[in-house]
Structure 1
């Protein structure tokens, strides 16, 4: 499948039609999806835990606390079942990018929160794992979609202009986080 390209007009149309809006405190995201609707929804599947999530987590300007708690549990460190608060800005970025891709297929979550122990173990196995990974702070997720290429997911994440987006084509996933706006990978 070839990479999707996004014109400025297509991105603005997707933003306006989206039911997702980002938190106003997001770095470099002033006006991100402003006026985009009254709800925000996240759809994910965690194959390691055999769990699915299809949830409205924001309604009419307010995050839904029980929904965020369920998302925290869903995105836990699957290696040791440690749960950590997931930054709502990360969820917003994931949801906004998902909306841009116009698919109802849930993301496959490969990694959400990582405990410091898990992150250290992964660092010993791979040079691509950051010592101070935003996963440790609940501010990052590694995801994939069967119906979209890594390049398409990466482009959708970058179009949000609201955090870090990493393309890992060799491993077939995209990293998204709510840190500084930046992108990397091939």
Structure 2
């Protein structure tokens, strides 16, 4: 269904008009906490999946309000790609990802390694690796594992830690950073 404003613009058209302002709303490191409390006008997430070949460049928050249709697309994008199960991704995790991306000062999208994980997928990964938590926040839709080719694991993890809003795991040997909306903590090398 397409929603049309009284001006004749569709919601998607209106969102596109705001896309150009996303860079201007990017916070500095000292403004990261304010960004999560609503200091910006626009929030945007940019990712691609090497597993599915999909990409997303989505404005999901404007002037203090989440855009439900945009969040629904993000939930689908971050699904368990092994079995296509979709779970709502906690908006706090999406906010952490967006704030971290803005702090990195790049237009490169994240590469999504893992978003939501079904119980079956998490159990399979646990059998293969000791680094997978039994009660992973991925199971709750509260975590994402992300990579960028233009930024090191150290750079991405420092930016995520500067947001000071959740867990940050550094996985240098596997070349990704874990971000979640759990308690503020960090681990890894």
Query: Per the shorter chain, which TM-score range?
Result: 0.7 to 0.9
C-alpha displacement of 1:155: 0.3
| 1:180 counterpart = 2:162 | no
TM-score after normalising by structure 2: 0.83
Higher relative contact order (CA 8 A, sep 6+): 1
1:108 and 1:127 map into 2 onto residues whose CA distance is 23
TM-score after normalising by structure 1: 0.84
| 1:11 counterpart = 2:25 | no
| 1:21 counterpart = 2:39 | no
Give 1:133-152 correspondences, 5 Å limit.
133-152=136-155
1:54 and 1:123 map into 2 onto residues whose CA distance is 31
Q: Deviations over 1:114-160 (max 9, x none)?
A: 00000000001101000000000000000000000000000000001
Aligned residue for 1:54? Answer: 57
Give 1:37-186 correspondences, 5 Å limit.
37-186=40-189
Structure 1: give runs of 5+ residues left out of the alignment: 1-9, 23-31
C-alpha displacement of 1:81: 0.4
In 1, are the aligned partners of 2:75 and 2:88 still within 8 Å (CA)? yes
Q: After TM superposition, what 4+ stretches of structure 1 lie above 6 angstroms from structure 2?
A: none
Q: Deviations over 1:149-172 (max 9, x none)?
A: 000000000001100000000000
Flag the structure with larger Rg.
2
2:147 and 2:130 map into 1 onto residues whose CA distance is 21
Kindly report the root-mean-square deviation, in angstroms, between the aligned alpha carbons of the 2 structures. 1.4
C-alpha displacement of 1:54: 0.3
2:35 and 2:129 map into 1 onto residues whose CA distance is 35
Aligned positions, number: 162
